[in-house]
Amino acid sequence: MLIERRSFAILALALVAGCSTWSATTVPELPIPRLPHDSVVLEAAFVRVPPGHPVDGLWQKTDEQLFDSDTRRNLTANGIRCGVVGTQLPDELRDLMGAARRDQPLGEGESLSTDSVTAVYRKLQNRSGERSDLIVVPEITGRKVVLFSEEGRVRAETFNEGQALFAVRSYPSGDGTVRVELVPEIKHGEVKHQWVPGNGTLRHDVGRQTSAFDPLRVSAVLSPGQTLLVTSSDEPKGIGSLLFVRGTGDTSERLILLIRLAQTQYDDLFAPEQTAAPLATPLD
């Protein structure tokens, strides 16, 4: 917030100092468009964890019990760990995000690189059930073999060229909470013409074949200001390693995905929309 105030202050001084020739006539302000009643605004940030950086303290401040034991066991077997933190981010996360901004500032919505990005900020705004794509690995080069564990059985799948992402959907409730769902997907192979389902119909699309992994769906109910944290398990493996681990061995780095519920319009009592402080100042 301090950065935002300084930015606005500098902008105001610039207007006063350099725009004295402008007409003093006031132009009536246009009304701010109101979001649809079922709109949800999410803030997403990727944070890099340097090699060897401890994160045990972070998990002590993260609620993993919101997910049942079967879900946690299944996600862990595939290299994914997740939890929910409150309206105040733990100091461990704030330190990592601060270091990212100091080391390499980035613009909002920039693509996540496999070797150069320290943090990425993005805002997602959708209506109930609408899909947003959150790309984690922009490019999978060559042939990639990923192991999947399902009901105690391990299978290997091979993917040629493509990208890995999360399909994100949100479902607001009348009490101001929102159920946020993330499904990992891999788009792979050659670009082809295809028909894909959407909103009860089929639409023509040009793209790669998509493999969606619904059994690894991450679903959490958030209140405004709460943050869903998703990253790799302590032991890198499976699709969790593909999504969140860069490099191998002692030099490997981990990515942490943060998704905060910033705003929801939906309320059974027609109360004003619920908002929360931003996850982080957008990286300019």
Of residues 7 and 137, more confidently modeled:
137
Cβ atoms within 10 Å of 284's Cβ, excluding its own: 11
Cα(210)–Cα(184) distance, integer angstroms: 10
At 55, the pLDDT band (50, 70, 90 cuts) reads confident
Q: pLDDT digits over 157-166, tens only? A: 999 888 999 9
Q: pLDDT digits over 128-169, tens only? A: 999 999 999 998 888 899 999 988 899 999 998 889 999 999
Q: Which two tokens stand for residue 236?
A: 């890198």
Of residues 83 and 272, more confidently modeled:
83
Average pLDDT over residues 173-200: 83
Asked if 283 and 7 touch (Cβ cutoff 8 Å), the reply is no
Which of 169, 167, 135 is CA-nearest to residue 38? 169
Q: Which one-letter amino acid corresponds to residue 277?
A: A
Instruction: Mean pLDDT check: name the lowest of 69-83, 84-98, 195-209, 215-229.
Output: 195-209
At 271, the pLDDT band (50, 70, 90 cuts) reads very low
Sign of CA dihedral 100, 112, 89, 236: negative
Of residues 113 and 207, more confidently modeled:
207
Residue with tokens 């490019």: 139
pLDDT at 42: 93
| Cα angle for residues 73, 76, 80 (degrees, 5° grid) | 135
Backbone φ and ψ of 71, nearest 5°: -65, -45
Torsion of CA 137, 43, 39, 203, to 10 degrees: -10
3-class DSSP state of 199: coil
Residue with tokens 């990425």: 120
Of residues 34 and 95, more confidently modeled:
95
Instruction: Write the DSSP symbol of residue 250.
Output: G
3-class DSSP state of 57: helix
pLDDT at 105: 45
DSSP 114-176: SSS-SEEEEEEEEETT--EEEEEEEEEEEEEEEEEEETTEEEEEEEEEEEEEEEEEEEE-TTS
Q: Which one-letter amino acid corresponds to residue 125?
A: Q
Q: Name residues whose C-beta falls within 8 Å of residue 165's C-beta, 6 or more positions apart in sequence.
A: 133, 134, 135, 136, 137, 184, 185, 186, 187
Residue 118 has pLDDT above 90, yes or no: no
pLDDT at 279: 59
Backbone φ and ψ of 18, nearest 5°: -110, 5
Of residues 97 and 65, more confidently modeled:
65
Cα(236)–Cα(256) distance, integer angstroms: 13
Instruction: Mean pLDDT check: name the lowest of 57-71, 98-112, 119-133, 196-210.
Output: 98-112
pLDDT at 247: 86
3-class DSSP state of 156: strand
At 97, the pLDDT band (50, 70, 90 cuts) reads confident
Which of 42, 87, 79 is CA-nearest to residue 61? 87
Name 101's bridge partners.
Answer: none
Instruction: Write the DSSP symbol of residue 215.
Output: G
pLDDT at 115: 35
The CA-atom distances, in angstroms, between 270 and each of 37, 90, 176, 273 are 9, 33, 10, 8
At 218, the pLDDT band (50, 70, 90 cuts) reads very high
Average pLDDT over residues 235-263: 91
Which of 168, 153, 148 is CA-nearest to residue 213? 148
Q: pLDDT digits over 10-24, tens only? A: 434 443 444 433 334
Rounded to two decimals, the pTM is 0.74
